[in-house]
Structure formats: structure tokens, C-alpha cells
Amino acid sequence: MISTTGLVAAAAAEPTAARQKELIHLVRQDCGSCHGMTLKGGLGPALLPATLAGKPAEGLVATIIGGRPGTPMPPWHRFLAEDEAQWIVDKLMTGFPE
């Protein structure tokens, strides 16, 4: 569960509309290549609200930024700032936009 402080921080760091469009494309195309184009799973697990429920947002952000050693999940820190990863996680947990 995200704390109220985390929500305020995430809202303060909301990406611009243009960057949000880029992030949505990145998730749908790049993440979708392993997690399924509809994020229902593939090589990687599903990234749907039901499958992410109960997982700590901080851990999901850390996975996006740092990857998962020993698995196909690469680190994305060269392409995303941590606040952008937080925005992605927030959207994944509530239903990712098209």
C-alpha cells in the first residue's frame, strides 16, 4: 500500500503529458514484449491490478529501476527516472492507460 506521503510525492512528480505518452508507449511496447502486449503475461508475469494487488509499490519501482538479476528482467534506470517508474507503478496498479 502506498502511503499518503508517497501519493503526494508521486503527484508532485507527475510527468508532462508528452512524457506520459512516451511512458505509455514504452510500457505497451518494451515491457509488453515480455509481459504481453495487453500486460496479461508472457515470458514475464501479468502486470494487471489484480496480479499486483498486495505487492509493495516500492518493490515494484525497485524492480523497474534495477531489474531482477538472474532473470530476463533488465534494469531500466538508463531510460527512466525513479519518479517516472513510480508513475508507471501507480498506473499499473489502477489499470494502465491505452
Q: What is the pLDDT along the chain (98 residues), one digit of tens a residue?
A: 444 444 444 444 799 999 999 999 999 999 999 999 999 999 999 999 999 999 999 999 999 999 999 999 999 999 999 999 999 999 999 999 98
Query: How much is the pTM?
Result: 0.85
Determine the Cα–Cα distance for residues 66 and 60; give it in Å rounded to an integer.
Answer: 10
Cell numbers 495487453: residue: 38
Domain 4-94, CATH number (from 1.25.40.10, 1.20.1600.10, 1.10.760.10, 3.30.420.40):
1.10.760.10
Determine the Cα–Cα distance for residues 24 and 40; give it in Å rounded to an integer.
Answer: 16
Determine the Cα–Cα distance for residues 96 and 31; give it in Å rounded to an integer.
Answer: 12
Grid cell digits, residue 15 = 510527468
Whether 65 and 85 have beta carbons less than 8 Å apart is answered as yes
pLDDT value of residue 13: 74
Grid cell digits, residue 7 = 501519493
